[in-house]
Each structure stands twice: as C-alpha cells, then as structure tokens.
Amino acid sequence: MKHAGPRALEALEPALEALRTVPGLVERKRGIFYRGGTAFLHFHEDPGGLFADLRSGADFERYAVNTKAEVAHLLSAVRARAASSPHGERRRDAQIGRPLKDR
C-alpha cells in the first residue's frame, strides 16, 4: 500500500485541516503528522480506498477514511491519543501525584 499522493490528500483536505488544529501535532510534510519526534499519523491509498495509520504504542493502527463517519472516528481517536502522554503513561508518585521524572 503506497502513501497517499496529492490527489488523495486533496480529497482528505477537510480532515487535514481538522488535524492541524490538534495540539501537539506537527505536519512535517503534507498528510504526515508527528508528535514530538515520533511519527504519529500518515495516510495510504490503494484500490480499496484511503486509510490512515495512527500510532498505537510501538505500532500503527489502520483506519479507513472513505466516509464522513470514518473520518470522524479517526479524528476522535487522534484527539484522544494526542491528549495522552506521548510515551505512554508515566509512573506517578502515589504520595504526591507528580510524575517521578519531575522529581
């Protein structure tokens, strides 16, 4: 499956515009988003349609993005993951509630 080309990305432009507003995401190249220094989201196209690969831990999870409902599902997942810790949940000191790294 190849990365989405210019025509496919043009079809996804409303979704790309919404993604550009998500805090913490940086679009380094059209349709390729990073979070911190890590690839977070990119798009593919094939005869079956358009798909997004969204980072899930060390791997990517594939989402179809061919309908408005599918795009809405992806945007919801992106917002939820972007709001979480970029490297998974950090351990917290149970007594004071601060991340151990910040001590």
pTM: 0.80
Q: Across all residues in the chain, what is the average pLDDT?
A: 86
Per-residue pLDDT at 97: 44
Per-residue pLDDT at 84: 84
Average pLDDT over residues 13-17: 97
* Nearest-angstrom CA–CA distance, 38 and 17: 20
Domain count across the chain: 1
* Nearest-angstrom CA–CA distance, 36 and 28: 11
pLDDT in tens, 49-89: 999 999 999 999 999 999 999 999 999 999 999 988 655 43
The pairing of beta strand 2-3 with beta strand 38-46: antiparallel
Structural domain boundaries, residue 43:
2-102
